[in-house]
């Protein structure tokens, strides 16, 4: 039998797929920063908000901080596995202008809308990663699909909060 002309495929680790691997690492680095900034924004909001009605929102945000940090860790691990480097803090550029503390710390609707905005951005970016990894990096794709589901759940929860405020004429 003749020896195979080419080495067996190593998928995303094939040297022929170097460019795609680098592109996926760049997308993962952006995802990592999105998670880190979300941790910052949710942590601030979970402490800053005032008022009887704020308690439920603050508790939900507290739970989500842990989940978002877990996502950041997963993205970091995957960057490493793909021979990338987890970026240092000086490369961070803030993008969540919509999640800065409101003028009044009882302005819960501002925070709810900000969370929906952040989750929507994550959903869009992770959907792009799922598309970019399709057929080339099933491991990154699988991981990102699971994270995407978490973000969809977060957005759905806060959409429910917003609906309640809208129904009561408070939003």
- For binding to Fe ion (CB under 5 A), which residues are involved? 35, 68, 71, 151, 154
Nearer to Fe ion, 95 or 170 (CB): 95
Token pair belonging to 51: 């008022």
Cα Rg, the chain, nearest whole Å: 19
Nearest distance, CB of residue 16 and Fe ion, angstroms: 32
Q: Report which of 122, 20, 113 is spatially closest to residue 75, judged by C-alpha positions.
A: 122
Measured distance between the N- and C-terminal CA atoms of the chain, rounded to whole angstroms: 73
Nearer to Fe ion, 20 or 120 (CB): 120
Token pair belonging to 81: 């596995």
Nearer to Fe ion, 35 or 137 (CB): 35
Q: Considering Cα of 47, then 52, then 58, then 59, what sign does the dihedral take?
A: positive
Nearer to Fe ion, 73 or 163 (CB): 73
Nearest distance, CB of residue 73 and Fe ion, angstroms: 11
Nearest distance, CB of residue 80 and Fe ion, angstroms: 18
Nearer to Fe ion, 20 or 125 (CB): 125
What CA–CA distance (Å, rounded) separates 49 from 58?
7
Nearest distance, CB of residue 7 and Fe ion, angstroms: 37
Nearest distance, CB of residue 54 and Fe ion, angstroms: 19
Residue 42 and residue 61 in contact, taking contact as beta carbons nearer than 8 Å:
yes
């Amino acid at each position: 039998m003749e020896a195979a002309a080419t080495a067996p495929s190593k998928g995303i680790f094939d040297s022929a797929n170097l460019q795609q691997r680098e592109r996926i690492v760049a997308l993962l680095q952006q995802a990592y920063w999105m998670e880190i900034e979300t941790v910052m924004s949710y942590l601030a909001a979970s402490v800053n908000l005032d008022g009887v009605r704020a308690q439920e929102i603050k508790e939900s945000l507290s739970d989500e901080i842990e989940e978002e940090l877990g996502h950041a860790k997963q993205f970091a691990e995957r960057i490493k596995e793909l021979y990338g480097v987890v970026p240092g803090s000086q490369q961070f550029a803030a993008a969540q202008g919509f999640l800065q503390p409101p003028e009044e710390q009882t302005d819960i609707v501002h925070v709810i809308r900000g969370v929906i905005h952040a989750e929507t951005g994550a959903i869009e970016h992770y959907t792009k990663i799922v598309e970019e990894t399709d057929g080339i990096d099933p491991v990154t794709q699988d991981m990102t699909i699971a994270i995407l589901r978490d973000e969809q759940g977060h957005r759905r929860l806060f959409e429910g909060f917003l609906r309640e405020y809208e129904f009561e004429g408070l939003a």
